[in-house]
């Protein structure tokens, strides 16, 4: 384990924000988690867990020890007639694992192809796309529990998965994920009802074609972080009550919506942003993407303040037009490496 100082994190966050970490260490083995935590305690440093950097916003200076999770490896665990379990290191690239699982004829994750980031981040915000969420296939998550000071595992139920939500979001400083255990299906049960997916698949209803179509749709709509710095969807799709929704729909009959449990309705933030005039619009060098208004892009050398200026302007305009507050999806860190709640409600 080698602790480095004054490390530039620009290439480790897909928004490409300039951010210097006072201390930085790569974690390649679970034991190094404990060694790094001991070092942080001795030096009185806050700890910041960095994964693929595809869902974070960093300030220009980050005082603390950045632990960059790079534990590798995929191991087959038990199997039965219907399913097979895999234990995957937190540092494996998510998309590569999805492709690998399909090649092994193990199914479930095909709708989640091409999502940027690493496997260790998948349970944190319960990544989801095209009608599937990663949590559906997560059997348990292996963690280091900073409160109990021991390695342990959290079952699927204990993870408390919800829409872009889990216990890891609820208690952000407590658990450090080392591995994720997935249970994948031997017989595919395809979910192809989302949007144009069914049409795109044509007559070939195989999981391989599903994966290929998801990749094609994402490539057509979403910017490649290598070309345009972004963190995927920048805002969550708002969940509102059926009553609020009825009022809104009377005024905006075309509002795309998806009924949820508990009398809630999810509405499309991308549509709200487009209607508020932000699709393809920029403020300085930060703007909302012209093919998917939900994606915020850093077009050139923006820092956190530039990003905040743009997203707050978007929130303001959407609030004025629809009375809906958009909540950012990426995790925001302050200078001391602490996660900041997104509390900037519009008035």
By the criterion CB under 6 A, which residues form the site for ligand EPU? 129-130, 194-195, 221-222, 232-233, 236-237, 256, 268, 270-271, 274, 279, 292-294, 329
Q: Is 155 a catalytic residue?
A: no
The edge-to-edge listing of strands for the beta sheet with 20-27 is: 4-8, 20-27, 61-69, 47-50
Residue of 32, 133, 142, 329 marked active site: 329
State the chain's maximal CA–CA distance in angstroms: 61
> Do 109 and 214 form a contact (C-beta atoms < 8 A)?
no
Output DSSP code: residue 65: E
When the beta carbons of 257 and 312 are compared against ligand EPU, the nearer one is 257
CB of 241 to ligand EPU, least distance (A): 19
CB of 192 to ligand EPU, least distance (A): 12
Which residue's Cβ lies closest to ligand EPU? Answer: 232
CB of 28 to ligand EPU, least distance (A): 27
CB of 210 to ligand EPU, least distance (A): 13
CB of 212 to ligand EPU, least distance (A): 16
When the beta carbons of 71 and 115 are compared against ligand EPU, the nearer one is 115
Q: Is 233 a catalytic residue?
A: yes
* Residues 110, 142: Cα–Cα separation, whole Å: 23
CB of 108 to ligand EPU, least distance (A): 15
When the beta carbons of 179 and 236 are compared against ligand EPU, the nearer one is 236
* Residues 40, 43: Cα–Cα separation, whole Å: 5
When the beta carbons of 74 and 215 are compared against ligand EPU, the nearer one is 215
Burial of 80 (0-12, 13-18, 19+ CB in 10 A): exposed
Residue of 101, 164, 178, 229 marked active site: 164
> Do 295 and 232 form a contact (C-beta atoms < 8 A)?
yes
Q: Which residue has the tokens 């690998």?
A: 100
Read out DSSP for 225-258? Answer: TTTSEEEEESBPPPEEEHHHHHHHHHH-TT--EE
Read out DSSP for 81-149? Answer: SSEEEEEEETTSBHHHHHHHHHHTT-BS-GGGTT--SBGGGTTTTT-EETTEEGGGGEEEEEEEETTTT
* Residues 33, 49: Cα–Cα separation, whole Å: 10
When the beta carbons of 23 and 164 are compared against ligand EPU, the nearer one is 164
Q: Is 164 a catalytic residue?
A: yes
When the beta carbons of 46 and 292 are compared against ligand EPU, the nearer one is 292
Q: Which residue has the tokens 């966050």?
A: 13
- Annotated catalytic residues are 164, 233, 329
């Amino acid at each position: 384990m080698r602790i480095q100082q004054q490390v530039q994190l620009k290439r480790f966050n897909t928004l490409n924000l300039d951010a210097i970490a006072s201390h930085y260490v790569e974690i390649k083995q679970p034991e190094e988690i404990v060694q790094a935590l001991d070092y942080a305690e001795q030096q009185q440093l806050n700890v910041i867990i960095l994964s693929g950097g595809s869902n974070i916003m960093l300030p220009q200076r980050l005082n603390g020890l950045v632990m960059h999770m790079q534990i590798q490896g995929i191991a087959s665990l038990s199997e039965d007639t219907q399913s097979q379990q895999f234990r995957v290191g937190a540092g494996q690239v998510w998309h590569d694992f999805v492709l690998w699982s399909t090649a092994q004829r193990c199914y479930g994750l095909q709708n989640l192809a091409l999502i940027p980031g690493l496997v260790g981040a998948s349970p944190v915000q319960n990544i989801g796309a095209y009608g599937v969420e990663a949590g559906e296939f997560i059997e348990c998550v292996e963690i280091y529990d900073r409160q109990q000071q021991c390695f342990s595992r959290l079952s699927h139920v204990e993870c408390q998965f919800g829409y872009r939500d889990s216990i890891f979001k609820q208690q952000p400083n407590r658990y450090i994920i080392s591995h994720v255990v997935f249970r994948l299906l031997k017989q595919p049960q395809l979910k192809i009802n989302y949007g144009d997916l069914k049409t795109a698949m044509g007559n070939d209803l195989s999981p391989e074609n599903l994966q290929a179509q998801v990749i094609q749709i994402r490539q057509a709509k979403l910017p490649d972080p290598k070309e345009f710095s972004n963190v995927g969807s920048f805002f969550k799709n708002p969940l509102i009550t059926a009553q609020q929704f009825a009022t809104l729909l009377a005024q905006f009959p075309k509002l795309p919506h998806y009924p949820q449990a508990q009398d809630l309705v999810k509405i499309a933030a991308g549509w709200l942003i487009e209607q508020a005039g932000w699709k393809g619009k920029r403020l300085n060098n930060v703007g909302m993407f012209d093919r998917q208004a939900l994606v915020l892009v850093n077009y050139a050398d923006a820092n956190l303040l530039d990003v905040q200026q743009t997203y707050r302007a978007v929130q303001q305009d959407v609030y004025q037009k629809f009375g809906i507050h958009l909540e950012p999806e990426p995790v925001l860190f302050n200078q001391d490496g602490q996660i900041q709640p997104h509390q900037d409600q519009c008035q």
